[in-house]
Structure 1
Amino acid sequence: MTTTTRLARPLAALAAAAFAALLLAGCTAQGGGASSPAVPAAPGAPLTDESAGAEAARDADGTSERSVVTTGWLQLTVDDPVATAADASALVERAGGRVDHRSETPGTETQPARASLVLRIPVDELDGTVAALRELGRVDQVSLDASDVTVERQDLEARIEALTASVGRLQQLLASAATTAELIEIESELTTRQAELDGLTAQRELLVDQIDYATVSLELVTEGVAPSAGPGDFWSGLAVGWDSLVAFTGAALVALGVALPWLGVLVVVGALVVGIVLLATRRRGDREA
């Protein structure tokens, strides 16, 4: 065996091994690219495009949105209910709300002042506005209630959608009516459906207004009027007694003035009755004589 032959054999074996290694690496790369397993997302990781799309579709459906009507009651004791009512109204208007009702009763010697308001407050501003209202005086009573009207709103939306489609079909039929009888019948049905649609739309607008604006009744009162103290000594008692006597005398004179004309009439009528009786008695006596 020559030296060239001995060198060619190791070189051929080395080349074959290198070629086999290259083939194995290529197969491994192809297999990994075709069937690599999906790696689950770690907890708290951002949503993939597919899951984000599902969340968006759920929100678009409205299935995750709740419709809530919020009502409340707030009673405060303040120094001046009338002035505080103006402050409360201005506060609500700055928050984007409105005052649907406002009544005021000024204070008297026997009756304390008070004011009553019905406030409509945007639900997004409700907490801050109520907190600001509480700062206007001493809080006596406060309550907030929430009522879920999601089903009612969805029912209204479905009925409005169905009626809108029905009105559209009737308008198409009205345009293609062939006879006067068909025209009159379609117009009558269209009027009925349109009136029903208008009524449901008004209901929806009212419900949406109640959902968007919380209704809070605000009562503003002040401390009760204390009764006047009684006389503390003799001279105070004498003064009170004299004032009472003067008041009684004045009232008695007024009553006498009112009754005097009636007393005159009664005297005249009584005199007439007595005269008639005496005359009848005298005539009876003359006949018997």
Structure 2
Amino acid sequence: MRITVETTVLVDAFDPAMQRLRTAVEEHGGYVSEARVHSGPHRSASLEARVPAASVGAFRAVVASVGAVVADAEKAEDVTEQRADIGARLRNARAQEKRLLDLLSDRTGSLADVVAVENQLASVRGTIEQIEAQERLLEGQIAYATVKLSITTRYEEPAEGAGGRIARAAREGVENAEAFVVNAAVLVATAGPTLLLLAALGAALYHALRAVARRRAAARPRPPSPPGPAQPYPYGPPAAYG
């Protein structure tokens, strides 16, 4: 089995917890393969350790005693078939190496044949080295479980008084006002050109329709004026004759 464990722990004191975990890894016959520490208001670290598979349970008990375990997962992968495949490939490569060595020991061929066999032997030996490296890696993964730890400092929100609440409310109000102004500016910048174009088109259409209406009104015939009252003496009253 190839075992992988992932655990997240909340601790009160960061440095003592890290020291305890490193010591526990060594006490159980393992070693730390990778460690990363993150500074800041909440110190945290990621730790990857290789622990003998037989000691995983005891080591996890130590991890649980260091702080509060908030996440925990364990995976056991059966690699029997992979191990058998690597073994078969290695046996075949070594058998091919032996046959090539036997050909070289006979020395019955020409120099060109000997050189060809030596080149093929070098290739087979390279293949054997690659397979042996895969075998060592797999055997190490079987013998040592991979334990990935995330350590985070516990954080408690400090008590906030009336003054702090008022200050926080003021900050939130200012932030909301700034957000409103920014959003309004973005809206104006986005829709402004379109609105201006629509306003210009509307004004042009209005003036065009108004001009057409004026021309039609000017071309329409006016009705004749009604006659006024008749005057008995259009050129004035007649002169008097004595």
What is the CA distance between 1:142 and its match in structure 2?
A: 1.0
Deviation at 1:155, TM superposition (A): 0.8
Larger deviation: 83-92 or 222-231?
222-231
CA offset at residue 227 of structure 1?
Answer: 6.9
User: Which residue number in structure 2 is paired with residue 255 of structure 1?
Assistant: none
Higher helix share: 1
Q: State the distance in 1 between where 2:15 and 2:37 align.
A: 6
In the TM superposition, what are the counterparts of 1:127-276 in structure 2 within 5 Å?
Answer: 127-177=57-107, 178-224=109-155, 226=157, 229=160, 232=163
RMSD over equivalenced CA pairs, Å: 2.3
Equivalent residue number for residue 5 of structure 2:
72
* Distance across 1 between alignment mates of 2:58 and 2:20: 15
Give 1:125's aligned residue: 55
| Greater RCO structure (CA 8 Å; 6+ sep) | 2
Question: Equivalents in 1 of 2:159, 2:113: separation in Å?
Answer: 83
- Using the size of structure 2 for normalisation, the TM-score is 0.64
Matched to 1:165, the amino acid is A
* Correspondence 1:88 to 2:21: yes
Tell me which stretches of 4 or more aligned residues in structure 1 moved more than 6 Å: none
CA offsets per residue over residues 200-237 of structure 1, 9 Å max, x none?
1100100000000010100111123637847719xx97
Which of these residues, 38, 42, 60, is aligned with residue 105 of structure 1?
38
For 1:144 and 1:87, locate their aligned partners in 2 and report how far apart those are by CA, in whole Å.
22
How far, CA to CA, are the matches of 1:72 and 1:129 in structure 2? 11
1:162 Cα deviation from its structure 2 partner: 1.1
Q: Partner residue of 1:254?
A: none
- Tell me if structure 2 keeps the 8 A contact 1:119–1:216: yes
Number of residue pairs matched? Answer: 167
Mind listing any 5+ residue stretches in structure 2 that lack a counterpart?
Answer: 172-242
Per-residue displacement from partner, 1:5-45 (whole Å, max 9, x unpaired)? Answer: xxxxxxxxxxxxxxxxxxxxxxxxxxxxxxxxxxxxxxxxx
Q: For residues 15 and 44 of structure 2, what CA distance do their matches in structure 1 show?
A: 7
Aligned to 1:31: none
Which whole-Å CA distance do the structure 1 matches of 2:10 and 2:69 have between them? 7
Gap change, CA 1:77 and 1:167, over 3 Å in 2:
same
> Residue 250 of structure 1 corresponds to which residue in structure 2?
none
User: In structure 2, how many angstroms separate the alpha carbons of the residues matched to 1:81 and 1:182?
Assistant: 68
Bigger shift: residues 92-101 or 165-174: 165-174
Question: Aligned-pair distance for 1:195?
Answer: 0.7
The whole-number CA distance in structure 2 between the counterparts of 1:192 and 1:207 is 23
Q: 1:166 Cα deviation (Å)?
A: 1.0
Identity of counterpart residues, as a percentage? 29
TM (norm. structure 1) is 0.54
| Cα distance in 2 between the residues matched to 1:211 and 1:115 | 26
CA contact (8 A) 1:82 1:106 kept: no
**Residue 126 of structure 2 aligns to which amino acid in structure 1?**
A
CA contact (8 A) 1:91 1:129 kept: yes
Q: How far apart, in 2, do the equivalents of 1:173 and 1:130 lie?
A: 56
Q: Supply the distance in 2 between the matched residues of 1:227 and 1:170 (Cα, whole angstroms).
A: 76
